[in-house]
Amino acid sequence: METQQLLPLATILLLGAFHGINPGMGWLFAVALGMQERRMRAVWQALIPLTLGHGLAIGVVVLLAAFAGLAVPSASLKLPVAVTLAALGVYRLVRHAHFAGAGMRVGMRGLTVWSFLMATCHGAGLMVLPVFLGMTATGLGASCHAPADASSDAAAAVVATFVHGAGYLIVTAAVAWLVFAKVGVGILRKAWINLDVVWAVVLIATGILTVLL
């Protein structure tokens, strides 16, 4: 792998880790399931569908971007992506809405769907998209795409999805274990940071930087 592609992949990995820290992205759900069943195994089992749903939300966005690049130069996607990111960030600052269609007793399929919808509502895929576009532009050239580049873009999308998922899974698992086994959910009452606000600001800042850089 070329050196210039390592930095985007590292950024995508860190974004996955940042998503994993957010309780609204899954670890709090995993801890709640563990406490409900009174066993650590339930926490570990919840991580599989949570990661799968989150990965699907990322994969859908980057794969669509990869195939859109066949007809449209990747550089021309920067403005619509930037506007969408900034608009989503402003929306999340004004209204902290979450999908609440799943109860606590859900199977693997239901938890996967829940994770997919939560990641989608938070704009997780859109957050990765500017980095992914920069990665493909660096590796393949930003001027235009030929049909032969389809497999390369699709492969890059798959790699980005797996790297992001790895960052998400590692941090989600670590935080869920720490809260369930060592700290307890009571820590949320004493040391709470509104990560929704932080996430909204990051979305807006990324939208601006996408245009400027």
By C-alpha distance, which of 92, 83, 156 is closest to 120? 92
- Provide the residue-wise pLDDT of the chain in tens; the chain has 213 residues: 555 667 888 889 998 998 898 877 888 888 888 888 888 998 999 999 999 999 999 998 888 887 776 666 656 667 777 787 788 778 777 775 544 444 445 577 888 888 888 888 777 888 888 888 777 665 544 444 444 455 677 788 888 899 999 999 999 999 999 988 888 766 655 555 565 676 677 777 777 876 775
Convert 66-85 into a string of H (helix), E (strand) and C (coil).
HHHCCCCCHHHHHHHHHHHH
Q: Give CA–CA dist 200/191, Å, rounded.
A: 20
By C-alpha distance, which of 102, 137, 122 is closest to 25? 122
pLDDT of amino acid 198: 66
